[in-house]
Chain A
Amino acid sequence: MDYKKLRPAARALKKALVALENALAEEIDDDVIAAVRALDDTRADIAAEVPTEGSVEDFLTGIGHSVIEAQKQLDKASSVYLDRLPAHALPASFQIPKVTADLKFAVRSVNQSKVGFIIASRSSEATKQLEQSVHLEIVAVPVPADHPAWKRAPPPQAPAIPPPAAATAPAKVRSIDIDETSIHVELVDADDAPAGLEVYRAPGAPRTRALSATAGGFESLDAPAMRAAAVQKSAPAKVRAAAKKSAKAAGKAAPARARPTAKKGAKAAGKGAPARARAAAKKSAVRTVATRASKR
């Protein structure tokens, strides 16, 4: 211990004690408080100046407590972070994953002996040196899966998948991120639908239909996407059916004699065109093909 460093502290201690003694003699409260404060300051000064002697165990224990204290501060920071978590961010807690510490020290001892005369001498010397280092690695490890700690704080799970939207609701078609893969969608009869394919029944549809979607050998059973595609595809079909029906009705409403006449008239209109007009139409078609070829 270096006692030279203790002299100023001892002088300060003596001064503080004298001040305390005077204050107590005069029974002045303010002076007593001031003296006590001076004593506290002196104690802190002494603690700062006295060199501490530590062992390897103190070193290792100090590292451990430092890690734990740092982790406690991180826990508080994590708590604040979770409280102020934005809606789009995932909840997370922060850990110290790894801490390494090295302690190195060396001991050197020299033994020397010498026998000397005026013109001759004999000596021997042996030096032993020992360097020691302690390397320590502290890691954060999760407890085993069957540990009761997990029951108190269950491990994070994947977010729940919402149920598929109703067919009447506006369907959202999710984009399928498949490069250079053709996706073929077609409507098939429910009786011919492969096993496992969800059947979509359009409201008021006369026949039950199923949607089959294949993408490069991968069969998709994505119900919302299929419903969306089915709605888009079934709508023109209905329109076509309605148009065909009205066309039939219109045809039936015409007189029986007029129907073959109209049919014949249409054919005759094609045949009855002038020869010049037919030749002009043919020439125009040839020109169109030639223009396309030149564009290519």
Chain B
Amino acid sequence: MAEEPSPDVFRMLPVSAAATATALASTGHAISAESARAFALADRSIPFFHAVRSARVEWNLSLSATNEGWRWLWQRRRSPKTVLEARVTLSFQPAAPEWHDERPGVEAWSRALWADLGAQGEMVVVQGLLRSLVDVYTEAERAARRAWAPFAGHESPLRSVLAGYEVSALSGRIRARLDDGGELSTSGAPRMLEIEIARAVDRPRATLAVG
């Protein structure tokens, strides 16, 4: 039975993004809270706190495959071909104190984002990556907010300078061999695709370039 290359490598990205956002929120709060306690004990002339300024998660994916037909004993075995290389970068930055309840919902943002990207992407693989990026964005945002929520009621000096973390940028770049139908193939011509999602004032902005 032949093993067909499939772009399901993106499926774990939203889960990983959510886990990272959760870890980042708890870590950021732990650092700042511990720093605040240390400051209260120490007699410093200038009050300083330690805080996580930024965090970046980068995924590098590659999918190599050989899908050869019947091969005689004296024929050389073909080496695996790289059919997909992808890099997805997710960046977090501290959210402003007025972060709570003043932004539109993440769901609405992701729908608008998908509408933009979906209209631009036609190929199956491209749509898979786009869908994954939107899921990464949604899950990371949701996880960051969910992880920071328990600390929202705490009285801490940190709250005046930091109110959580939010996704500041998300970008994806993919290089894939595609057949005529846009599916991953070991024989198609390599094509390059770049997607960048950046934070805007009211909603994310997406750009797409296919080459």
Contacts and interface: CB of A to CB of B under 8 A. Distances in A.
Contacts of B189: none
Contact of A128 (B30, B62, B161): B62
Interface stretch (A135-143, A189-197, A210-218): A135-143
Contact of A122 (B5, B68, B157, B161): B68
B119 interface: no
Contact of A71 (B35, B45, B80, B161): B35
Given A56-B23, A129-B61, A124 B68 contact: yes
B44 to A, nearest CB: 5
Contacts of A78: 44
Given A137-B52, A143-B157, A132 B58 contact: yes
Nearest to B55: A136
Interface of A: 55-57, 60-61, 63-65, 67-68, 71-72, 75, 78-79, 91, 93, 95-96, 111-113, 118-144, 147, 149-150, 153, 155-156
Given A57-B19, A68-B34, A122-B2, 18 more contacts: A56-B23, A60-B26, A60-B27, A68-B50, A75-B44, A96-B50, A127-B80, A131-B59, A132-B16, A132-B59, A136-B24, A137-B52, A138-B50, A138-B52, A141-B53, A141-B161, A142-B46, A153-B43
Contacts of A149: 39, 47, 157
- Ranked nearest first, the 4 interchain pairs of A and B with the lowest CB-CB distance are A64-B31, A60-B27, A149-B47, A57-B23
B1 A113 contact: yes
B65 A127 contact: yes
A52 B20 CA distance: 20
Contacts, number: 185
Given A96-B50, A141-B48, A155-B46, A128 B63 contact: yes
Contacts of B3: 111-113, 124-126
B60 A75 contact: no
Contacts of A121: 70-71, 73
A137 B34 contact: no
B67 interface: yes
A139 B80 CA distance: 45
B210 interface: no
B44 A93 contact: yes
Nearest to B85: A129
A91 B35 CA distance: 22
B9 interface: yes
Nearest to B16: A132
A109 to B, nearest CB: 9
